[in-house]
Structures are given as structure tokens and as C-alpha cells.
Structure 1
Amino acid sequence: MDSLKIALLEKTGHDHGFEHVLSANPQAVCLASARHPTRVTVTGTADDGYQVYFETTSASLTGELARGFPQWTLANNYFLVSGNAELATLLQRAADLSRALPNEAALSYEDAVKEELIALPPETLHTEVERIVRQRIGQQKFREAMLTYWGGACAVTGLALPDVLRASHAKPWAECESDAERLDVFNGFLLTANLDALFDRFLISFDAQGRLLLSPVLATADLRLLGISPELRLRWLAPEHQSYLQFHRARMRETTLTQPIQ
């Protein structure tokens, strides 16, 4: 790569989530960020494209990138893009996911909780105040991670109006065994308000292929008024969602047994 191409590559990284240049030479450019732990090494190809390698602490990142960009995926954390526009798209998605996927959301949450608790007057600090602070910040961080992971659009309908989207837990906040589980972006879905209300009450769920499951207590007329069709399904489903969905489906079966069928 010549100096002009290296400079353009560095700017692309800076503008799309990788603002630090760790090293740069005609063979490769290595980029990083202070906002997430992922590093990327970019090398030029003979046809003026780029081979991109991600070094990451996330077990899910490269799998999510491969699912989103199968046309650019090689193997062993490598991707191949044809130019700067495609590189920018890949880097931005990698940076966004690096901040949203476990365990980054949990680390960001802990930092935010500590900062807020330190700012409170000492005489106000007690167990209940800390619990309220943790829950409020945790739910905010979970929503932020969900919006990032799903690209700001409903996991089912694709509706991209953040004001009417809810971050829905599959395993409820109060029943999670740890903050990492509560903040796991795979523990639930970003849903429109009507789908969220039903999902939260275990009146709908999704099967292992992402197809909508309806509780028999829901009347067909009510579903029609809610604009919910049995043909709805998740836009995608990662392997990491499955254990949480199994929990949710089991709770849905329990709920069905305790409610009258319409």
C-alpha cells in the first residue's frame, strides 16, 4: 500500500470506530479504539481491496459479522472487502458490536454505577438506593446495547422508530443470576411496544428457528387488533439466544396452564 492509501485507510478507521493507529506500513495497518477492546489489522490486496483481521475478546463478534456480511467472510476472523466504502461498513459494525456484546455492556454498566454512587451524598447511600441505581442504569445500558445490536430496528418487524421500541428480557431482570446475565444482549429482543407487552407476559415467544409462538389464551380478534400475524418471525437468531428462549418458552407453557383459553 502506498502512503495515500494508508492515510485513507487510517481516516476510514478513525471515522468508523477505530480511532487509534497502532502501526502503519506498506504491508499492514493496525487500528484500535479506547472505547472497546477489539483491534483490527488491514492489509491491501492486489485488486485494491482489503483483507481485514479482527483480534477480539468477544466470543460472538466474528460470528455476528459473518452472519451480517457472509459475502465478505473468509475464515479464522478474516474478511475480504473490495474498497473503502465496504471497509467503513464492516469497521463500524464491528465497533458497534464490540461495545454491545458481552461482556462490554456489563463493564460499562459497572463503571456507570460506580460513578453515580460516588456522586451521591454519603448519608443517602443504603442498600435500597443502590438497588434502584443499579436497576435504572442496568435497564438503560441493556436498551442501548439492544438498539446497537439490532441496528435500531425491531427484531421482528424491522420498524426503526426508537421511541416505540422496547428492550425485552427473555429471562426477567429479577430472575437473572448475575448482572452479566441481565445485561446480556442475547437475553431478549428489541420489540415494538405491542410485541413487547405480550412477550413480557409470556403470551408470545419464538421457537428455535425464530418463528412466532402464540399462547392459546390470545383470541384471534385481539391479535388482529394488535396487528400481529402468526407468520411473523425474528429477523435473525444467534446461537447465544437459544438458552434464554428455552427459558422463555418454558415460562410461556406455565403461564398458559394458569390462564383461561379465549
Structure 2
Amino acid sequence: MTISTSHRRLTPHPIFRVELEQAAWNHGYRRANGEADGWLWFRSDEGVPGEVALASGTADGGGPWFLAVEHAGVAQVLASEQLDAVSGPAPPPCKGVFAFAEQPAMRRALSRAFHLARSLPTFPFTQFEAEVASLGDTEVDRIVRQRIGQGFFRAALIDYWGACPLTGVTEPALLRASQIVPWAECATDAERLDVFNGLLLCAHWDAAFDAGLVSFADDGEVLVSNRLEPMAIAALGLADGLPRLVLEGAHRAQLARHRHKFGFVRGSGGHDHG
């Protein structure tokens, strides 16, 4: 059930104020940035963009617990994921506010906000540009540039997805940074490092996706090529039913290019290929 931010926010009891401060510190927002109207403001000390504000609905810390985020992209993704927690107007300059009945749920959303802010455009690209600023345009420099870019891209995908969304696997050695539009086909480095141009997939899913044996519809459902053999279908777990990917609009635009490249007929739903 949605909890409205019209619920009055009071300056929390010192004990619960400390809990809010610890929540911010533990989840990446380690620089206190003041207090206003019952909100405690924080930002990252790592240069991750966007402030967050935390508040409690009652002075005794009984909840609800509020999280407001300044980063527009983070607010958008959280709103698509935290449907029951989306609440009323955010305190300026925040773009979204979310209310939770229990503090642990607020802490999980705060952690998610930090990882999203670290992965969303254009933070990884900004880091990449700073890292490669001293490189030239020799063949060796271009190879180094690509290696560095792929490292930032992989880190951004791990922040954004956290695990393979199809299998739930979190072991980094088994995960691949799958570019939807390949590196060589991207028009700019900004597109290459855009987290919405990537999926975090287990190695066998990455291989199938890269070969055009699977793709994804606009609603996140798996699309399967008729070239995929029964043993491969079994190995991918397709017969067991798989979760749909939670996609943003920018994902869908890139996936449309992937489907077109490999001849997938439908843009939403289904399990076949033209």
C-alpha cells in the first residue's frame, strides 16, 4: 500500500537520526549535506552524482521512512521498480520520493539508488574520459582505450543489474557484460558506455545473445530463434519458464536494433524468430 509523503515529517529522535545517518553512510552517501524541513541530506564522497534525502514520519522512528533522490534517472528507474513505494511531491531539487513502512525496505532502496547513480549515464562515460585523456590515436592507444572502456562498462552493468536477471547468478566470473549494439557498431564512446546498451548475462546466455539465438521483446520476454537446438534450449532453461527482464525505454530502443539485425519478427511477446 502506498504511503503518502503528506504524512508530516518530524525531526527524528537522536537515536533514529543516527540510524538514518548510518543508513546513508553504509550505502555510499557518506557526506552529510545539511537538514531542512525534517529531511537529512547526503551526497556521495566518490563523486557519484545526485543528492539523497532521508526522513522519518514520526519523531519516535516508528515510520514511515522516506527516501528522496535528486538524480532524475535514478528516480525514474526506482519508480518502475518500487511501484508500491512511489509517493507524493519530492522536496526540491529531488525528482522522486519513496515511502516505506519499514526501515529495511528504505535501506534497500537507498542502496539501489547509489548503485543506479554510479551506473547510469553519464557517470561511467565521464570516468572513462578522464582515464583515457592522456592517450593518443595509435593502434596500441585504441586497444588500451577499448579495454578501459569495457572495464567501466562491465562495472556499470554490475551496479545496474547486480545479477544475471535470467538466472540470478551473482558470481562475477560467470557473468558477461553483453553489449546490445556491439562496440564497433556504436556511433560514439558515450553510446558504447551507456548502461542501457548492455545486459549482465551468464556466459551461456551472453553467447546465445551475441550469436542472435535469443533476443528480448519490449516487455522483457525472451525471444528464441528457430535455429536453437533442443539441447541448447534445455541448457538455457527455456523450458522451465524464465523471468521477464525489467527494461527501460533506452533498453528497448537498443534491443529493437538487435532484433532487426538477427531477423526477430516480433517486438513484444513470443518465442520465435522469422
TM-score bracket relative to the smaller structure: 0.7 to 0.9
Q: Establish whether residue 149 from structure 1 lines up as the match of residue 156 from structure 2.
A: no
Structure 2 residue aligned with 1:38, among 38, 50, 56? 50
Q: Establish whether residue 229 from structure 1 lines up as the match of residue 238 from structure 2.
A: yes
Percent identical residues: 34
| CA gap 1:110/1:2 in 2 versus in 1, 3 angstroms | same
Give runs of aligned pairs for residues 175-186 of structure 1, distance below 5 A: 175-186=185-196
Counterpart in 2 of 1:14?
A: 25
Q: By how many angstroms is 1:43 displaced? A: 2.8
What secondary structure does 2:244 align onto? coil
Runs (4 or more) in structure 1 with deviation over 4 Å come to none
Structure 2 residue aligned with 1:53, among 68, 72, 84? 68
Give the CA RMSD over aligned residues.
2.2
State the distance in 2 between where 1:181 and 1:28 align.
36
Q: By how many angstroms is 1:206 displaced? A: 1.0
User: 1:46-96 CA deviation, whole Å, 9 max, x = no partner?
Assistant: 34333222112xx42112112332222214501112344233222111111
| CA gap 1:103/1:25 in 2 versus in 1, 3 angstroms | closer
State the distance in 1 between where 2:76 and 2:137 align.
42
Does the 8 Å CA contact 2:119/2:157 hold for their aligned counterparts? yes
TM-score, scaled relative to structure 1 = 0.84
Counterpart in 2 of 1:87?
A: 106
What secondary structure does 1:236 align onto? coil
Q: Establish whether residue 191 from structure 1 lines up as the match of residue 201 from structure 2.
A: yes
Give runs of aligned pairs for residues 198-217 of structure 1, distance below 5 A: 198-217=208-227
State the distance in 2 between where 1:168 and 1:243 align.
16
| CA gap 1:213/1:22 in 2 versus in 1, 3 angstroms | same
State the distance in 1 between where 2:55 and 2:203 align.
44
Counterpart in 2 of 1:258?
A: none
Q: Establish whether residue 69 from structure 1 lines up as the match of residue 82 from structure 2.
A: yes
What secondary structure does 2:199 align onto? strand
Q: Establish whether residue 5 from structure 1 lines up as the match of residue 5 from structure 2.
A: no
What secondary structure does 1:250 align onto? helix
Give runs of aligned pairs for residues 124-143 of structure 1, distance below 5 A: 126-143=137-154
Which range is displaced more, 14-23 or 153-162?
153-162
Structure 2 residue aligned with 1:104, among 117, 120, 123? 123
Q: By how many angstroms is 1:246 displaced? A: 0.3
Gaps of 5+ in 1: 119-124, 255-260
Counterpart in 1 of 2:256?
A: 246
What secondary structure does 2:109 align onto? helix
Structure 2 residue aligned with 1:24, among 19, 24, 35? 35
What secondary structure does 2:263 align onto? helix
TM-score, scaled relative to structure 2 = 0.81
Does the 8 Å CA contact 2:57/2:65 hold for their aligned counterparts? yes
State the distance in 1 between where 2:242 and 2:56 align.
42
Q: By how many angstroms is 1:26 displaced? A: 7.3
Counting matched residue pairs gives 243
What secondary structure does 2:18 align onto? helix
Gaps of 5+ in 2: 1-11, 90-95, 265-272
Structure whose residues are more often helix by fraction = 1
State the distance in 2 between where 1:92 and 1:222 align.
36
| CA gap 1:6/1:164 in 2 versus in 1, 3 angstroms | same
State the distance in 1 between where 2:260 and 2:21 align.
49
| CA gap 1:233/1:90 in 2 versus in 1, 3 angstroms | closer
Q: Establish whether residue 162 from structure 1 lines up as the match of residue 172 from structure 2.
A: yes
What secondary structure does 1:208 align onto? coil
User: 1:208-239 CA deviation, whole Å, 9 max, x = no partner?
Assistant: 11121122222224433x33416435332222
